[in-house]
Amino acid sequence: MVKADVEAAIAGGTATAAKSQAGAPASTPAAPKPMSDDAVLKLFEEGSYELVPHDNMRKTIARRLVEAKSTIPHFYLTLDCEIDALLALRKQLNDAAPMKKTEKGEAPAYKLSVNDMVIKAMAVALMQVPDANASWTESGMLKHKHADVGVAVSIPGGLITPIVRKADEKTLSVISNEMKDMAVRARSRKLKPEEYQGGTTAVSNLGMFGIKDFSAVINPPHATILAVGAGEERPIVRNGEIKIANVMTVTLSTDHRAVDGALGAELLAAFKRTIENPLGMLV
């Protein structure tokens, strides 16, 4: 921007203000509108489709997604995490799980997934970078004292995000069993509102579908959401030599009003540090 640009902008602003004071409305760009139903249907031959009405869940999801993308300035940060140590610890912990009696006989007291460990690592990272554990409000920044981690769960006709409350204080086995219970009840639509409303952040994992990386949409009032891709063997360079390691790509979406680039980078670095040194999640 040069001096002439600044002077022109000032002059334009002054002229607009003068017109407004004189009673002439200041022009504002009209918000773009989606295509009408009729306009969409006219693009296809009659009889070549079936129109399935939206249920309330799909309408709510659509409304919240439009709201989130329209009102939250999304900012994205991506990095790779080596997860060999995480996979080894997960196997060790699962192998050591005590047996418990069930209606069908005996079964392990827990069975940890990689996602359970991601939830815990995100909670630990938020405690290490407390300024990122926040929600934006117009009157001030809402600083949270605990990490309540929402987890995206696919259900018929949509998606819901049950929340692991105070995940920073819970053990991996508690997080794992809690998530399994909520996922089952989510799919049968038996979650209570307090089990999926609120939260301070969220995790969305598409690794089980082989997705390498993606960017997730923030679910307000959260200021962040972590998108987790598949862990896979990849060549890496270590000390000048090519090695093979299990690598997982993660992308952090942030609400730039609450978590700017440097703060988001600090949070993601803390997550990577925890994931790559997973013993820290046990203390």
Which residues does the annotation mark as catalytic? 256
User: Helix H segments across the chain?
Assistant: 3-21, 37-41, 56-71, 84-95, 114-128, 172-187, 261-276
Q: Which amino acid is at 253?
A: S
Task: State how far the Cα of 132 lies from the Cα of 126, in Å rounded to an integer.
Answer: 6
- Pick from 222, 229, 231, 223: nearest CA to 264: 223
Quick one: 255 exposed, middle or buried, by C-beta within 10 A (0-12, 13-18, 19+)? buried
Task: State how far the Cα of 215 lies from the Cα of 232, in Å rounded to an integer.
Answer: 18
Task: Answer yes or no: are the C-beta atoms of 242 and 236 closer than 8 Å.
Answer: yes
- Pick from 260, 255, 263: nearest CA to 67: 255
Task: Answer yes or no: are the C-beta atoms of 263 and 128 closer than 8 Å.
Answer: no
- How many Cβ atoms are within 10 Å of 107's Cβ, its own excluded? 13
